[in-house]
Amino acid sequence: MDWNKDKSVMLSRVCIVVFAILLAAADIGAYWLVSWFMGVSRTLGGLRDGYLLLTTVYSCSVFAWILLVNLWKLLANIQRGMPFETSSVNYLRVSSWCCAGVCTICLLSTLYYTPLILVSIASGFMALIVRIIKNVFEQAIAMKTELDYTV
Amino acid sequence: MGIIVNLDVMMAKRKISAGELAERIGITPANLSILKNNKAKAIRFSTLEALCRELKCQPGDILEFSDDNETE
């Protein structure tokens, strides 16, 4: 198969759509998902823990939606052949804050369910990676601007 | 202000239009305009060489250093 950058961007877009569908399904079926998890979990029990877990899922979902929208817009910039624009830096900044938001929520959720610390660490690490990529983009934009004005 | 490009002065002295100069030195009129209007962040030696050749002048005739602190 003749693989090129357009197809790569298209694959990324398809992945975002797949994640959006999964997220929508998780949002719709969160109640049943939490009920099932409460059944199989040994540490979680009672109505209070159920509501807390549901709150965690829905609050993380908000950040996940914002993240997906921003990634979609970033891919649109890349597809237009203009990835090094100020808007791309903003999309990455928001994405990083979304990961940091999920990190915080999961960290607070460890008060009632300790294993969520793993999700918290993973999303915190992801926030750091995205933040560094954002810094790289900022530097690249500065270099591009200078190159554009080199005669 | 830093470095000032006095290209328009030299062009007037040599009686050459922007379009003609751009064509002779092999850059686009848009890029020449960037240079002429002091918007450029850098100039390539090859461009400077071509400008000096076509305008029959020295780099110092085109570029001038202006100290901001002195004027304040």
pLDDT < 50 regions, chain B: 71-72
Q: Which residues of A touch B39 (CB under 8 A)?
A: 149
pLDDT in tens, A20-62: 999 999 999 999 999 888 888 777 767 677 889 999 999 999 9
Q: Say what the pLDDT of residue A135 is.
A: 96
* Reported pTM: 0.77
CB A79 within 8 A of CB A72: no
- Alpha carbons A54 and A43: distance in angstroms, whole number: 16
Closest CA to B33 of B22, B48, B44: B22
- Alpha carbons A104 and A117: distance in angstroms, whole number: 10
**Closest A-chain CA to B44:** A151
Structure tokens of A116? 């969520």
Q: Say what the pLDDT of residue B70 is.
A: 56
- Alpha carbons B65 and A86: distance in angstroms, whole number: 32
Q: Say what the pLDDT of residue A60 is.
A: 96
Out of A145, A146, A151, name the one closest to residue B35 (CB). A151
pLDDT in tens, A94-125: 999 999 999 999 999 999 888 999 999 999 99
Cα of B72 to nearest chain A Cα, Å: 27
Q: Say what the pLDDT of residue A41 is.
A: 78
Q: Say what the pLDDT of residue A17 is.
A: 97
Query: Mean pLDDT across the stretch A8-21?
Result: 94
**Where exactly are the structural domains of chain A?**
5-149
How many CB atoms within 10 Å of residue B55? 19
Cα of B7 to nearest chain A Cα, Å: 13
Q: Which residues of B touch A151 (CB under 8 A)?
A: 27, 31-32, 34-35, 40, 42-44, 47
Q: Say what the pLDDT of residue A3 is.
A: 77
Domains in chain B with CATH codes:
2-66 (1.10.260.40)
pLDDT in tens, A117-146: 999 999 999 999 999 999 999 999 999 988
Out of A145, A149, A151, name the one closest to residue B27 (CB). A151
Cα of A147 to nearest chain B Cα, Å: 8
ipTM of predicted complex: 0.74
**Closest A-chain CA to B38:** A149
Q: Say what the pLDDT of residue A1 is.
A: 58
- Alpha carbons B71 and B47: distance in angstroms, whole number: 30
